[in-house]
């Protein structure tokens, strides 16, 4: 407890009592500010987590849209050329859908390429 207002002990009781009440109110205000700061930090943490989750979802949605666009163009080309039977489409947008086996493939993570050995 800080004494922000100091009064001479020989001052009348009413001044001492008033100064003590003012100091108590300042202490209460400081406590409230500390609680507000704590809540703001909690909200910042939650907001950062939500933003990271939204970025992750946006990446997934972008990948799905690209895959659908590739599939649509492939099917359009197949229909246009009359080759619509036994179509299997795999986009290979990233290496998540590919299982790399030892000796069969080589993954270049810098250039984001997979080479068949």
Pair 89, 71: CB distance under 8 Å = yes
Q: Residue 111: inside a domain, yes or no?
A: no
Domain span holding position 43: 13-87
User: 111 to each of 18, 96, 106, 107, how far by Cα in Å?
Assistant: 73, 15, 12, 9
In a domain? residue 29:
yes
Across 92-105, average pLDDT: 68
Does residue 1 register a pLDDT over 60?
no
- Asked whether residue 24 is assigned to any structural domain, the reply reads yes
Domain membership flag for residue 70? yes
pLDDT of the residue at 85: 82
- Answer whether residue 77 is part of any domain: yes
The mean of the pLDDT values for the chain is 84
Determine the pLDDT at residue 97: 65
Higher pLDDT residue, 76 or 97? 76
Per the structure, the count of domains in the chain is 1
Residue 36 belongs to a domain: yes
Q: Among the residues of the chain, which ranges form H helices?
A: 13-81
pLDDT (mean) for 21-40: 93
Show the tokens assigned to 117.
């050995």
110 inside domain: no
The confidence score (pLDDT) of residue 117 equals: 67
């Amino acid at each position: 407890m800080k004494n922000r207002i100091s009064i001479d002990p020989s001052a009348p009781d009413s001044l001492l009592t008033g100064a003590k009440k003012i100091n108590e109110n300042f202490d209460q205000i400081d406590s409230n500010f500390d609680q507000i700061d704590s809540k703001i930090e909690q909200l910042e943490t939650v907001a950062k987590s939500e933003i990271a989750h939204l970025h992750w979802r946006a990446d997934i949605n972008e990948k799905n849209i690209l895959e659908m666009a590739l599939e649509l163009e492939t099917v359009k080309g197949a229909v246009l050329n009359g080759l619509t039977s036994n179509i299997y489409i795999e986009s290979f947008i990233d290496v998540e859908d590919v299982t790399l086996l030892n000796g069969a493939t080589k993954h270049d993570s810098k250039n984001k390429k997979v080479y068949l050995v």
